[in-house]
């Protein structure tokens, strides 16, 4: 598998790049994000999505969860999309 880092920008789906939108709409991809990515952006995902529970005081646990999901997806030969807020 492979992993791609995608920025969701300020959260408005109209501001995503064409490439980012194509990646999010790939039904075979595994998209990993956290709860800070806007719901409007998350609604664009067509494949499997996992949302980390990044809460105050739990950032380390959430990051470990993200690493584990990414590792599992890569091991399974999936295209893993790490979706983050911002550019």
Please report the beta strands in 1-87, taking only residues with DSSP state E, as ranges in sequence order.
2-7, 30-34, 48-52, 79-84
Whether 54 is catalytic: yes
Q: How far apart are CA 59 and CA 56, in angstroms?
A: 7
The catalytic position among 26, 50, 54, 84 is 54
Whether 34 is catalytic: yes
The catalytic position among 14, 34, 46, 84 is 34
Active-site annotation, residues: 34, 54
């Amino acid at each position: 598998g492979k992993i791609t880092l995608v920025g969701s920008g300020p959260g408005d789906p109209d501001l995503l790049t064409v490439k980012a939108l194509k990646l999010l709409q790939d039904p075979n991809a595994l998209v990993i994000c956290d709860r800070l990515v806007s719901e409007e952006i998350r609604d664009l995902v067509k494949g499997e999505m996992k949302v980390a529970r990044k809460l105050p005081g739990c950032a380390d646990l959430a990051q470990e969860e993200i690493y584990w999901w990414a590792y599992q997806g890569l091991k399974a030969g999936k295209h893993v999309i790490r979706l983050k807020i911002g550019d």
